[in-house]
Amino acid sequence: MTGRIEQVSISPGGVPKRAVSEARVTRDGLVGDWQLDRKHHGGPDRAVCLLSAELIARLNAEGHPIAPGTTGENLTVSGLDWPALVPGVRLAAGDVELEVVSYATPCKTIRDSFTEGRFERISQKTHPGESRLYARVIREGTVRPGDALRVATTA
């Protein structure tokens, strides 16, 4: 299964994250990216946050003002079977390899991306298969919008 990186996003802290033309991916995350709440975000097992572009489009159709980067994801991706991306799945883009570790629990800092602040709309608990994903970095490298993103191994 192969998809595509649609947007690479970073922020010096907080949301929204802004699109960049490329980013170096290290075991600590994307260079230039930082999270204000390091207790719940970032670190080796939450180094990269991913979200489906198709999910963003569905949420827009529901009336939510979400856009790539507004929920804090680093990689907005398309063309993958999102519900099949479970912890243990490995993804590869060029020389970068990631392993999905967990689902990202939504919090109030992303409420502006949702009608009436209903950020729980992307909770894995209430909407399985429609959550952001956290990944650890197995192999470092550089990612760019337009890069192919393939499932390297399944869980």
CATH assignment at residue 94: 2.40.33.20
Higher pLDDT, 113 or 40: 113
- How far is Cα 138 from Cα 90, in angstroms, rounded to an integer? 9
In which domain, by residue range, is 22 found? 2-153
Nearest Cα to Cα of residue 140 among 98, 88, 111: 98
Number of domains the chain contains: 1
- Its pTM stands at 0.94
* pLDDT > 90? residue 153: no
Q: How far apart are CA 5 and CA 15, in angstroms?
A: 19
Q: How far apart are CA 76 and CA 34, in angstroms?
A: 17
Q: Give residue 18's region: left, alpha or beta (phi > 0; psi -120 to 50).
A: beta
Query: Virtual CA dihedral for 44, 25, 4, 65, nearest 10 degrees?
Result: 70
Q: Using DSSP bridges, classify how beta strands 23-26 and 141-143 pair: parallel, antiparallel or unpaired.
A: antiparallel
Give pLDDT, residue 41.
56
Confidence check: pLDDT of 45 > 60: yes
Which residues have C-beta within 8 Å of that of residue 39, sequence separation ≥ 6? Answer: none
